[in-house]
């Protein structure tokens, strides 16, 4: 008998079937990937298994865990099974963990509520589990609140809460989507190591994650199962067109699609930028330390690095959204001074920004037509209403949206459609520079590929310069001409696309590349070669900031910060960059 048996599961909201006649099984100890785009029914399937669907959902079919029917079971019976027999790791632990309760108390409460331990034994079991998931100084983490932990540490705590009762089935719903690639590799390796005989249902849109961590995979489209099989067979010989399209859209480190044509003159130049944030009662936090950035016409330069490396602070300082303590910004040779509101309108319209989350950057009370037209109202007030509407309609068509979207509100758009609206708003003023801050991080594979094509087409057509901030090096590989790698507020490597991805010089860059999951079961990648996370900028290491995590560190690394040197055309800050090439 299979551990989990789902037969003809249907989940409906009114006349809409979120899940339609879905059947599959999971064996004990097996790892199964559930993949598909947003709206394909992945999370609805997980919520149906756990009995967490809202009251408006109507269900049919059967879900059996170890022979026990879950669909239609009472809340009392489901509570007896949750945690003890099945558990879930959510995408965002900040929302899943109680912000008012210390982490250790939350885990202990699970054991006490299910009567699996007394208070003394629960305390010991929680400490043991926090240690198993790799948290340092477990007694301190036991007493910490969720907001006092980093993203990776919170996710480890979330995994600890799910596995502390040793459930038979663990459902992981996009558990690494919001994490840096290095932390993602650590979390996925942790799941593989500590789940023991627990079966895993891994929900994700990242085919690289499935390739490296799942024995079988299920592909959903529109709530229906369109393909299933061993991971190797599905990747090697996909039978359904939708599976083929998902595989084709998956970015890879060995595949680039860089826009043609040589970059032109310098458009935006940042010299020796320094950004510092005042911390109440503490020393200032130095987020950016003496960084140079140059982008040319028709060029895409990617800025990569883990959270806390200074990527977003650097571009926000260039935009004038945060003050620079030192340095200089020039647009087409003209020095830009002060914050954005102090700069002339002509310079403000020339540099536009696309955020990661369109839901947070689009006004929920405005229709699409008004959202896209707003920059025209500010920068071209003499333009007539009809001319504005024509410009907005034409721009929406350029980003792949028809005129029927003009009257829609943001909540009536999918994630990809909302991001297209955000890009249309940014491009309608025909800027010289477009800054994309994790602009495709939350998008599914095919939608992400459509957005990247849109950006490439805009660059080819108008000579647009793009600064592309991302933690996804597979995407960076596909879109960038040059790549700048940042660590703790400083540049550690700057090279052209082929040089960096083909022969990275800095050990940090290499570690980032090795951590990227590859959508190929034969060469899955995703190795966690770095321990821990980036140190706090409030207490930076001496010498080379990377030395505490560097496998090649020597005595000089902790004593002296490396200067910038050129190695095979790349700018690198490493004492041993040249020697490391010989060790490869």
pLDDT per residue as tens digits for the range 301-319: 999 998 888 998 999 999 9
Question: Are 225 and 85 part of one and the same domain?
Answer: yes
pLDDT at 189: 86
**Residue 301 domain flag:** yes
Residues 190 and 299 in one domain: no
Same domain as 493, residue 461: yes
pLDDT of residue 579: 73
Three-class secondary structure of residue 2 per DSSP: coil
pLDDT at residue number 414: 76
Token pair, residue 92, equals: 């965002």
What average pLDDT does this structure show over 61-67? 96
Query: In percent, how much of the chain has pLDDT > 90?
Result: 62
Q: What pLDDT, on a 0 to 100 scale, did the predictor assign at position 578?
A: 73
Q: What is the pLDDT of residues 293-305, one digit of tens each?
A: 999 999 999 999 9
Q: Are residues 456 and 527 in the same domain?
A: yes
Q: Which of 178-187, 280-289, 349-358 has the highest mean pLDDT?
A: 349-358
User: Can you give the pTM of this predicted structure?
Assistant: 0.85
Q: How many helices (H) and strands (E) does the chain have?
A: 23, 22
Average pLDDT over residues 398-405: 89
Confidence check: pLDDT of 518 > 90: no
Is a pLDDT exceeding 90 seen at residue 83?
no
Q: Are 387 and 459 in contact (CB under 8 A)?
A: no
Which position has the higher pLDDT, 455 or 7? Answer: 7
Q: Where is mean pLDDT largest: 44-53, 191-200, 446-455?
A: 44-53
For residue 319, being part of any structural domain is answered with yes
Element (H, E) at 397: helix 385-398
Residue 524 has pLDDT above 70, yes or no: no
**How many structural domains compose the chain?**
2
- When pLDDT is averaged across residues 36-41 and rounded to a whole number, the result is 86
Q: Quick one: CA torsion of 534, 538, 541, 544, rounded to 10 degrees?
A: 70
Summarize pLDDT for 1-23 with one digit per residue, the tens.
899 999 999 999 999 899 999 99
Same domain flag for 240 and 310: no
pLDDT value at 196 more than 80: no
Domain of 442?
Answer: 266-350+431-583
Whether residue 276 sits in one domain with residue 240 = no
Across the chain, mean pLDDT equals 90
CATH number of the structural domain spanning residue 190: 3.40.50.300
The arithmetic mean of pLDDT across residues 52-56, rounded, is 94
Q: Which helix (H) or strand (E) holds 185?
A: helix 181-194
Domain-located, residue 200: yes
Contact 120, 105 (CB under 8 A): no
Residue 62 lies in a domain: no
Same domain, 139 and 213: yes
Q: Higher pLDDT residue, 156 or 262?
A: 156
């Amino acid at each position: 008998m299979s551990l989990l048996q789902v037969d003809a599961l249907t989940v409906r909201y009114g006349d809409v079937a979120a899940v339609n006649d879905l059947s599959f099984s999971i064996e004990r100890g097996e790892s199964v990937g559930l993949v598909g785009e947003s709206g394909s029914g992945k999370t609805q399937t997980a919520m149906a298994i756990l009995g967490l669907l809202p009251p408006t959902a109507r269900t049919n079919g059967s879900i059996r865990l170890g022979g026990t029917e879950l669909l239609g079971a009472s809340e009392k019976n489901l509570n007896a099974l949750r945690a003890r027999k099945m558990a879930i790791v959510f995408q965002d632990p900040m929302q899943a963990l109680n912000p008012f309760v210390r982490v250790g108390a939350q885990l202990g409460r699970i054991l006490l509520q299910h009567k699996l331990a007394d208070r003394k034994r629960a305390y010991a079991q929680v400490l043991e589990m926090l240690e198993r998931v790799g948290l340092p100084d477990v007694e301190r983490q036991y007493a910490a609140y969720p907001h006092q932990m980093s993203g990776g540490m919170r996710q480890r705590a979330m995994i600890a809460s799910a596995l502390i009762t040793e459930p038979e089935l663990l459902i992981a719903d996009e558990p690494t989507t919001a994490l840096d690639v290095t932390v993602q590799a650590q979390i996925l390796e942790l799941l593989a190591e500590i789940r023991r005989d627990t079966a895993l249902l891994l929900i994700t849109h990242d085919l690289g994650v499935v390739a490296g961590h799942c024995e079988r995979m299920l592909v959903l489209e529109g709530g229906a199962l369109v393909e299933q099989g061993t991971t190797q067979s599905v990747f090697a010989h996909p039978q359904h067109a939708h599976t083929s399209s998902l595989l084709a859209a998956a970015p890879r480190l060995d595949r680039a699609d860089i826009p043609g044509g040589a970059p032109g003159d310098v458009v935006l130049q940042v010299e020796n930028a320094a950004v510092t944030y005042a911390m109440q009662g503490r020393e200032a936090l130095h987020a950016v330390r003496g960084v140079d950035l140059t982008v040319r016409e028709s060029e895409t330069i990617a800025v990569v690095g883990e959270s806390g490396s200074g990527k977003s602070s650097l571009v926000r300082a260039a935009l004038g959204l945060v003050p620079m303590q030192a340095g200089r910004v020039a647009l087409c040779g003209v020095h830009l001074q002060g914050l954005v509101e102090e700069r002339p309108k002509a310079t403000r319209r020339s540099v536009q920004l696309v955020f990661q989350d369109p839901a947070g950057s689009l006004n929920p009370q405005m229709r699409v037509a008004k959202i896209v037209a707003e920059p025209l109202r500010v920068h071209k007030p003499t333009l007539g209403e009809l001319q504005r509407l024509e410009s907005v309609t034409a721009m929406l068509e350029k980003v792949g949206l028809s005129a029927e979207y003009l009257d829609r509100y943001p909540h009536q758009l999918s994630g990809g459609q909302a991001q297209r609206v955000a890009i249309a708003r940014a491009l309608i003023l025909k800027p010289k520079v477009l800054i994309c801050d994790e602009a495709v991080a939350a998008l599914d594979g095919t939608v992400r590929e459509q957005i990247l094509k849109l950006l490439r087409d805009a660059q080819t057509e108008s000579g647009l310069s793009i600064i592309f901030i991302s933690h996804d090096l597979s995407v960076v590989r596909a879109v960038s001409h040059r790549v700048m790698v940042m660590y703790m507020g400083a540049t550690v490597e700057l090279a052209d696309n082929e040089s960096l991805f083909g022969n990275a010089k800095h050990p940090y860059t290499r570690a980032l590349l090795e951590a990227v999951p590859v959508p190929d079961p034969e060469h899955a990648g995703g190795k966690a070669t770095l321990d821990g996370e980036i140190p706090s900028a409030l207490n930076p290491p001496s010498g080379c900031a990377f030395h505490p995590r560097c496998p090649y560190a020597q005595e000089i690394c902790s004593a002296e910060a490396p200067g910038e040197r050129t190695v095979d055309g790349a700018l690198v800050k490493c004492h041993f960059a040249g020697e490391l090439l010989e060790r490869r």
